[in-house]
């Protein structure tokens, strides 16, 4: 009797996890579409800048390499709670050359055109979506692991 009750409870929990999984898959796919859309808008603005400033104005030749001086990222992810992989959000640091926080726009141009500034805004937005997408992906991964464990335990009963 107890085993039968356990099986029913496990089945209900499995149903609930599958439902969560479908919602998370939908959210995951939507976030990738949002990343794609924002990324494309940014890429179009970068292309416009290249068209206006010349092909080599925005390229890997301008970005720092291993031989460049060390500098800090302006944008980092922080955990909302003190767990190993709790929900994350993006935190931005103000530009401060003395502390190693450089303005990325100035790698490409001293007087950055409007299209480049707009492209930067698009990629900043994209980073926010990336953080949200990471939260969804981790939750989905945890749900998948839960389903896997539960299926194994049900199979053993």
Residue 73 Cβ, how far from another protein at the closest point, in Å? Answer: 4
Task: Indicate which single residue of 91, 114, 149, 153 sits in contact with another protein (rule: CB under 8 A).
Answer: 91
Return d(Cα 62, Cα 55) in angstroms, integer.
12
Q: How far is CA 118 from CA 69, 77, 115, in A?
A: 27, 23, 5
How many residues in the shown chain lie near another protein by CB under 8 A? 65
Return d(Cα 77, Cα 98) in angstroms, integer.
22
62, 73, 53, 55: which is closest to 105 by C-alpha? 62
- Smaller CB distance to another protein: residue 9 or 86? 86
Q: Does residue 46 bind another protein (CB under 8 A)? A: yes
Q: Does residue 115 bind another protein (CB under 8 A)? A: no
104, 34, 25, 29: which is closest to 63 by C-alpha? 104
Q: How many CA atoms lie within 13 A of 92 on its CB side?
A: 8
Return d(Cα 117, Cα 45) in angstroms, integer.
9
Site for another protein in 6-45 (CB under 8 A): 18, 21, 25, 28-29, 32-33, 35-36, 39-40, 42-43
Return d(Cα 102, Cα 145) in angstroms, integer.
41
Element (H, E) at 95: none
Residue 72 Cβ, how far from another protein at the closest point, in Å? Answer: 6
Q: Does residue 120 bind another protein (CB under 8 A)? A: yes
Task: Indicate which single residue of 10, 23, 109, 134 sits in contact with another protein (rule: CB under 8 A).
Answer: 134
Enumerate binding residues for another protein (CB under 8 A): 18, 21, 25, 28-29, 32-33, 35-36, 39-40, 42-43, 46, 58-60, 62-78, 84-85, 88, 91-92, 99-100, 104-105, 107-108, 116, 119-120, 122-124, 126-127, 130-131, 133-134, 137-138, 140-142, 144, 147-148
């Amino acid at each position: 009797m107890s085993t039968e009750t356990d099986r029913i409870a496990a089945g209900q929990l499995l149903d609930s996890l599958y439902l969560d999984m479908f919602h998370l898959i939908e959210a995951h796919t939507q976030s990738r579409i949002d990343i794609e859309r924002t990324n494309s808008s940014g890429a179009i603005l970068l292309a416009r800048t290249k068209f206006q400033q010349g092909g080599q104005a925005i390229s890997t030749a301008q970005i720092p390499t291993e031989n460049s001086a060390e500098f800090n990222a302006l944008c980092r992810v922080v955990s909302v709670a003190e767990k190993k992989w709790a929900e994350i959000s993006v935190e931005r640091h103000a530009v401060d050359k003395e502390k190693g926080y450089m303005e990325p726009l100035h790698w490409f141009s001293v007087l950055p055109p409007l299209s480049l500034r707009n492209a930067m805004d698009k990629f900043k937005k994209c980073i926010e979506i990336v953080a949200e997408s990471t939260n969804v992906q981790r939750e989905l991964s945890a749900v998948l692991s839960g389903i896997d464990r539960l299926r194994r335990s049900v199979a053993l009963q």
